[in-house]
Amino acid sequence: MTGGADSVDVLAHHSLLLAIPAFLPALAVVAVVVFVAVRDRRAEARDRTSGSPSEHGAEKER
């Protein structure tokens, strides 16, 4: 009883292992850009709702 094509085992896809070093820095850069953009938008929204007198026209009422 000799083994035919059924005894072939594929252990790993080496192309995927070789692609990780190329995509990992790109994903890190995207994550940093998204983090900074979300942080800036939240800070801007917080500044708009902080209730500063000049934003609500308190100077015009005087």
pLDDT of residue 40: 96
Whether residue 56 lies inside any domain: the answer is: no
What pLDDT score was predicted for residue 37? 97
Task: Give the residue numbers spanning the domain of 35.
Answer: 14-46
Tell whether 51 is covered by a domain: no
- Note whether residue 55 is domain-resident: no
Q: What does the pLDDT profile of the chain (62 residues) look like in tens digits?
A: 455 567 777 776 678 778 888 888 999 999 999 999 999 999 998 888 876 555 555 555 54
Question: How distant, in Å, are the alpha carbons of 6, 7, 9, 11, 28 from that of 3?
Answer: 7, 6, 12, 18, 46
- Total domains in the fold of the chain: 1
In a domain? residue 59: no
Is there a domain that residue 61 lies in?
no
Is 33 part of a structural domain of the chain? yes
Query: Is 4 within the bounds of a domain?
Result: no
